[in-house]
Each structure stands twice: as structure tokens, then as C-alpha cells.
Amino acid sequence: MTTLAPLAPWQARAYAHLVSIHEAGRLGHGVLFAGPAGLGKRAVAQRLAQRILCREPAGAEPCGHCRSCQLFAAGTHADFELVSFIPTKDGARMRTEIVIEQIRELGERLALTPQYGGAQVAVLDPADAINHHAANALLKTLEEPHPGRFLWLVSAHPARLSATIRSRCQRVEFRLPPREEALAWLIAQGHKPAAAEEALDAARGHPGLADQWLQGEGLALRRQVAADLDKLERGTAGALATAQAWVADEYAELRLRHAADLALERAAGLTDAGRTRSLAAWFDAANRTRDLLRTTVRADLAVTELLLAWRGDAPVARGGRA
Ligand SMILES: [Zn+2]
């Protein structure tokens, strides 16, 4: 007997909707699970796959104890496949795109008879990471559906998929849940109410992100970033030294994310349009710098440049806030 992980309320709603469509015989071959990262799209897709493959489903849920459910829980079900990033040929690192060989293999597998006589499900996540050649192969697979075979695409950036691919899929949209629901869920995860509220505000209502921040260094990191920006503003810290500290560990990207968000937060409290614009420009610059971190540009220099610009804009923010 394997226990099913509880779904969050917004996941449970999406799941119930999908099960009812499946029960009504209207679940398509291709489904696109779209919506912000961290809301549990893949978890819902996997639960639905388990339910479809289960031999003795108990209502909307998979039974959790049949052979199929056991194999699924062990990650060894022959009729379920998760396609994601794989290591490079030399095995030195993970690829950052999904390549044509993976999609071809997937197409071949979906053309086979399911091993356990039921259905066959493949989940592609993140689907928007397919490269151009892989996209053409994927389209071919989507256009040649076999009965009982499902190919589901999970994406936080569905606009990056071609319109043709999107048009071949039924779309399930994941949205941020109502604040009260997100807050209740965070508290149910064991977070203190005050911290949960602060994290939820910082994450702009995204419960998954808030949870992640509350578990890790996220929120402490945000406070530190806010303090650093204040110091830069007052001239008690230098842009170069601060930038070097920001990129010294694996949290550089998260710091910039918080910094960009703090700029927006400040801009929201302003009434001067020109000042709001300069903070909005800084917000864009911070996000561009985040992208640069993934390239070969020297991170400390890119961040220094950004922080020098903050110093220029900062008195504006302070003045408007007072
Ligand atoms: Zn079962």
C-alpha cells in the first residue's frame, strides 16, 4: 500500500476537473498543463497518469495498492514515462534543452502496445525546453494519436511553444489561488501565520514560491537584499563590494529576483510618474541581469553595473516613500 501525497486545494481542483473529463471520454491525446512554475502542474499530471493506469481506481483517486500503482510509486511503470532534461553525451552536465532523440524515442514508445494492457502516458516537462528539431518531431507525435496513449506537456512558458503544438493540445490553466486559500495552505504546511503572510506578499500570492522561501533562505535573503539596497542608497556600502557578495554563492539569481521585486514594491508607493518610471527601468535591468547570470558574462561586473544604477535611482525612491 502506498500513500498518495495530499494535493493542495488548487491542484485538487485541476485534478478533479481532469478526471471528470477523462471519465466523460473527452480527455484528448495531448494536454498542455500551463501556468506559473511551482504550483504543482507536474504533480497533478502524475496523479492523473497514476489514476488512468490504476487497475482498481477508488472513485477519482488511484487505489494506491494494485500492481500498477506499486510500479508507479516505485517509478518503474513501463507505461509511464517522464521526459525531461538528460545528461550531455560526456555525462559532465545536464542538457538545457530537450533533444530530438528523446522525442523520437517517445514517439516510438507511444506507438507500442501498452505493457500492462491499459493506457500509456508520457509527460514532457518542461515542454518549452524542446529545441526546434524536437518540436517538429513532437508535432508529428501529437498529430498521430493512438487510442489510449496520452502525451502531456507541462510548461510555465507556454508562449514559447509553437502555436501549432499548442493548438494540438487541450489546455489546463494553473492560476494563483485566492489569497486566503494560499495562506491557509501555507499554515497547514507548518509555517507560522505571520511569516506565511510576509512570504506570500513577497511572492506576490504564489504559495509554492512562498513555501520554498519559508523553507530555505529565501525570506532571510530578501531582508538582506532590502538592507543592502538601503545601504547602497545611503552610501554606506559600495556597489562593487555588494555585487561581489551577491554573486559569491548559489543565491545570486534569487537575490536579483528579490531586488527586482523590491524595486516594484517601492514604485507602488510612489505618486511621481517620473520616479516610478526610473524604478520600473531598474526592475527591467535587474531581470535582464538575472538572464545574464546564465551566460558567460562576468556576474560581478553585471551586478555592479546594476547596483550603480540603483544608487542613482535610489534617492528618488526614498523621497517618494517618505
Ligand atoms: Zn491502483
Domain boundaries, the chain: 9-173, 217-321
HSE-up of residue 239 (Cα within 13 Å, Cβ side): 14
Say how far apart CA 127 and CA 124 lie, in whole Å: 5
CA of 315 to the centre of ligand 1 (A): 62
What is the pLDDT, as a whole number, of residue 18?
96
Provide the CB-side half-sphere exposure for 23 (13 A, CA): 12
Burial of 227 (0-12, 13-18, 19+ CB in 10 A): exposed
What are the C-alpha distances in Å from 258 to residues 137, 224, 262? 38, 10, 6
Copy the grid coordinates of residue 255: 537575490
Q: What angle do CA 44, 48, 54 make, to 5 degrees?
A: 145
Q: What is the pLDDT of residue 190?
A: 94
Q: Residue 195 Cα, ligand 1 centroid: separation in angstroms?
A: 39
Q: Can you tell me whether residue 61 is helix, strand or coil?
A: strand
As given in the structure block, the three cell numbers for residue 106 are 517517445
**All cell numbers assigned to 86:** 538528460
What is the C-alpha end-to-end distance of the chain, expressed in Å? Answer: 60
Residue 279 C-alpha from the chain's centroid: 26
Does the pTM surpass 0.85? The reply is no
**How many angstroms separate the alpha carbon of residue 58 from the centre of ligand 1?**
8
Q: Could you tell me the distance, in angstroms and rounded to a whole number, from the CA of residue 125 to the centre of ligand 1?
A: 24
Could you read off the pLDDT tens digit of each residue along the chain, which spans 322 residues?
A: 567 888 999 999 999 999 999 999 999 899 999 999 899 999 999 999 999 999 999 889 999 999 999 999 999 999 999 999 888 788 777 777 899 999 999 998 888 888 887 899 999 999 999 999 999 999 999 998 888 899 999 999 899 999 999 999 999 999 999 999 999 999 999 999 999 999 999 888 999 999 988 887 778 898 999 999 999 988 899 999 999 999 998 889 889 988 998 888 888 777 788 888 888 889 999 989 988 887 767 888 999 999 999 876 444 333 333 3
Residues with Cβ < 8 Å from 149, sequence gap 6 or more? 29, 110, 114, 119, 120, 121, 122
What separation in angstroms does the CA of 96 have from each of 88, 93, 126, 142, 208?
9, 9, 10, 23, 23
For residue 2, the model assigns a pLDDT of 61
Q: What is the pLDDT, as a whole number, of residue 316?
A: 38
State the distance from the centre of ligand 1 to the C-alpha of 141, rounded, in angstroms.
Answer: 28
| Residue 235 grid coordinates | 552610501
Collapse the DSSP code of 302 into the 3-class scheme (helix H, G, I; strand E, B; otherwise coil) and give the result: helix
Fold held by 9-173? Rossmann fold (3.40.50)
Q: Give the pLDDT confidence score for residue 1 in this predicted structure.
A: 55
How wide is the angle at C-alpha 21 spanned by C-alphas 16 and 25, nearest 5°? 145
Residue 255 to residue 262: CA distance in whole angstroms? 10
Q: Which helix (H) or strand (E) holds 152?
A: strand 149-155
Give the CA dihedral 209, 214, 217, 220, nearest 10 degrees. Answer: 110
Q: For position 13, what pLDDT does the model report?
A: 96
Write down the pLDDT at residue 319.
36
Cα 1 to averaged position of ligand 1 atoms, centre (Å): 9
Q: Measure 302 CA to ligand 1 centroid, in angstroms.
A: 52
As beta bridge partners, residue 89 has: none
Report the alpha-carbon distance of residue 178 to residue 258 in Å, rounded: 22
CA of 160 to the centre of ligand 1 (A): 35
Q: Which residues surround ligand 1, an ion (CB under 5 A)?
A: 54, 62-63, 66, 69
